[in-house]
Amino acid sequence: MIANLGFGALFITFLVALYGIAAALWGEFKHKPEWVDSARNAMLLTFPLLSVSALSIIYLLVTNHYEVEYVSSVTSRVMPLYLKVTALWGGQAGSLVFWSWLMSSFASAVTLRKWDRDREFLPWVIVVALVTLAFFVGLSLFVENPFNRLWQLAGGQVVEKMFPPRGARLFTPTDGRGLNPLLRHPGMIIHPPMLYLGFVSFVIPYAFAMAALITGRTDDRWIRLTRRWTLWAWLFLSLGLILGARWAYDVLGWGGYWGWDPVEIAAFMPWLTGTAFLHSVMIQEKRGMLKQWNMVLIILTYDLVIFGTFLTRSGVLSSVHAFAQSAIGPLFFAFIGLTFIASMSLLMHRWNDLKAQAAMTSLLSREALFLLNNLLFLGILVVCFWGVIFPLLSELVTGQKVTVGPPFYERATGPLFAALLFLMAVAPLSAWGHSTVKTLGRALWKPAALSVLVVVLALVAGYRNVFALLAFFLIALVVTVTLYEYQRGVRARMKRHKESLGSALVELVRRNRRRYGGYLIHLSVAMLALGIVGIEMFQSETQGTLQIGESLQLGNYSMSYDSLAVFDTPDGRNVARAVVSVYRNGEYVGELHPRRDFFYDSGQPMTIPGVRSTLEDDFYVLLVDWEEISTQSATFKVYHNPLVQWVWLGGIAFIIGTLVAAWPDRERKETVALSARPHAMAAD
């Protein structure tokens, strides 16, 4: 009954989406606003309908309805309740419904705004949003149905169908296969939802961009309407990437956080274009320039969102993140092709209308540096895209799949990331319209001198890697320039308003959240870069088999094997848990407990490292193997990861900076309200 309810809600949603598309188009072309309003109501209706469908799946998951194929594939009786709920996005069929549900919530939310000033945008925003939603709901209905049940035919064969084949009876397994152990980490409870929120949020600015192209509104109104949507989309996507990195560090057991996995890159690519878009729209708002760029970037971001979903769910890639082989791949490819061709055709039609209102007169002006920033982001995108697509092309042409590993990405993108850091330091010191080498040099020499001092201190500390020293210089330059910008603004407020240091800083940020939130993001990127340089250039590792009481040395750390216990847990795991003592320079610093969990329901293991973390470094221990009977001997793999904690601290600062930049400005709201009040009084 519940499966039928959920499937029915899904089917009605599909029909409602198709109706909304048709009603919006009919109302627009026939100049009948009541039809557009009806389409708007249809889009609002998709959210409660998909809520019924999503809640039906959750009910089936938590109540162990193993006759439903999706339930039996991602849950088991020993799984805790919270994991059964999050199994909604733990498999392919459920994750597509979850994606659609989030999409419907954002599409419904955007229709609730007041449209009096932007009425011409409304039907086209509805069409774009509902076309995207209808595509994903259609996949769930006709290809990856989460409500399919298991039926046993007369010959004993078990098949997966929504409705019973002739002569079949319902088949209910005694237990499910359970969720993949890698997905049972707490980080996976929130990592996929954050990525999905980032993906679906970017659909909204894309829908407004297409509405602007269709209606011929070539001003920056669509950008102003979607600025915060874009910031929140970028925040969610950034948070998803950071949480994914943390999950990899905690669960995958290879001592790192980013392996240039194809699916990691699939989520990273729309972040690159979205970041370029956020920088580029500021130029359009300030100078009336880069309108064509902005359209290209938002189109790329939208289609890269769909492309990333395609790569994850089509089964064409080999990845720990990817779902199984599926028939939805060609459908995704067709949808990406159609939307990209349609979007670019619209852009070409309006290309001349989007010409810049002002010319770029200086190669060192802020807008020129922002354009160079965009080119660097797109350069990284090209490297990532080629690295992901080359194995597929190779297999198609030669029949052999070639693996593109981390060395390719690191060598190709390293100089581009270094150039981005340099621009991050220089751009805040440049002026709109015109800057010269002399004016930039005058503003830059003091931060550069301090950055050189940082390099000297690194040399004294024993660092000799040339690339690391260059990275330290660029990181220090970003930090000193950003702090200089804060200091300059605070001093001006203290002088003008006679405020204290703390009050001046708070007011400075509050009155210009976008600018100083952006500077905080720059500081967070410097922190991230410091952590990346530490682990990428100075990581060391070793492996050894130890008897109880023996030690293993790595740098100035040593580790002794104390004991190992093997036991079963009530939630269906067999746990092998080692106890090791850690010493630094001969001094005891703590005890770690690396372990290996084997899940009986799925028949798969998961490795949990023991980690001793400080701001200076991580000592990271993995239990690789052990003697089954006596446990007197065990094999460990050990990593020393310098500065890696700065990656996670930078991620936290990144989120805070984005929240500051995206937070609504109370004063602006009050100004709008006050400006509207005289008109209301005049009307009375």
List Cα–Cα distances, 479 to 506, 535, 631, in angstroms: 19, 20, 50
Residue 50 contacts residue 9 (beta carbons within 8 Å) = yes
Is-contact 516 493, C-beta < 8 A?
no
| Distances 566 to 184, 624, 626 between C-alpha atoms, Å | 20, 14, 10
C-alpha atoms less than 13 angstroms from C-alpha of 546 in its C-beta half-sphere: 26
Q: Could you give phi then psi for residue 350, rounded to 5 degrees?
A: -105, 10
Q: 33 to each of 38, 39, 211, 275, 301, how far by Cα in Å? A: 9, 10, 16, 36, 31
- End-to-end C-alpha distance for the chain, whole angstroms: 56
Cα→Cα distances 621→52, 242, 398, 531, 573, Å: 45, 22, 41, 19, 21
DSSP letter string over 552-616?
EEETTEEEEEEEEEEEE-TTSEEEEEEEEEEEETTEEEEEE--EEEEETTTTEEEEE-EEEE-SS
Render 20-34 in DSSP notation, one character per residue: HHHHHHHHHHTT-HH
Question: Does an H or E element contain 54, and which?
Answer: helix 33-62
Kindly list the averaged pLDDT for each block of 10 residues, start to end, along the chain of length 684: 93 97 95 94 96 96 94 91 90 92 94 86 95 95 93 88 89 89 79 90 95 90 90 92 90 86 89 93 84 94 90 56 58 91 94 81 85 94 92 79 85 94 91 84 90 93 90 95 90 87 87 88 94 93 94 94 92 92 94 93 88 94 87 92 94 91 61 40 36
pLDDT at residue 181 in the model: 83
Residue (of 623, 639, 624) closest to 580 by Cα position: 623
Cβ atoms 299, 305 nearer than 8 A: no
The pLDDT of residue 326: 56
319: DSSP letter: -
Nearest 5°: phi and psi at 618?
-120, 135
For the record, the structure tokens of 496 come out as: 């003008």
Structure tokens of 253?
Answer: 């057991």
**pLDDT for residue 317:** 55
Supply φ then ψ for residue 88, to 5 degrees.
-50, -40
Alpha-helical regions (H) of 112-217: 122-142, 187-201, 203-215
Roughly what angle, to the nearest 10 degrees, separates helices 406-426 and 466-497?
A: 30
The tally of CA atoms less than 13 A away on the side-chain side of residue 391 is 16
The count of C-alpha atoms lying within 13 angstroms of the C-alpha of 663, restricted to the half-sphere facing its C-beta, is: 17
Closest CA to 549 of 559, 539, 562: 562
- Which helix (H) or strand (E) segment is 419 a member of? helix 406-426
Percent composition of the chain: helix, strand, coil (DSSP 3-state, to 5): 65, 15, 25
Helix or strand holding residue 278 (H, E): helix 262-287
473 half-sphere exposure, CB direction, 13 A CA radius: 16
pLDDT of residue 403: 78
pTM above the 0.85 mark? yes
Question: 298 and 205 in contact (C-beta within 8 Å)?
Answer: yes
Q: Is 498 left (phi over 0), alpha (psi -120 to 50) or beta?
A: left
Which residue type does 586 have?
Answer: G
Q: What is the distance between the alpha carbons of residues 135 and 332, in angstroms, rounded to a whole number? A: 9
Cβ neighbours for 409, distance < 8 A, ≥ 6 positions apart: 260, 265, 383, 384, 387
User: The tokens of 548 are what?
Assistant: 């109880």
* Rg of the Cα atoms in the chain: 28
DSSP reduced 3-state for 390? helix
| Paired sense of beta strands 149-152 and 158-161, if any | antiparallel
Q: Give the helix ranges, DSSP H, for 288-405.
A: 291-314, 329-349, 366-398
Residue 523 identity: L
**Residues 6+ positions from 434 with CB-CB distance below 8 Å:** 361, 362, 365
* CA nearest neighbour of 335 among 311, 310, 298: 310
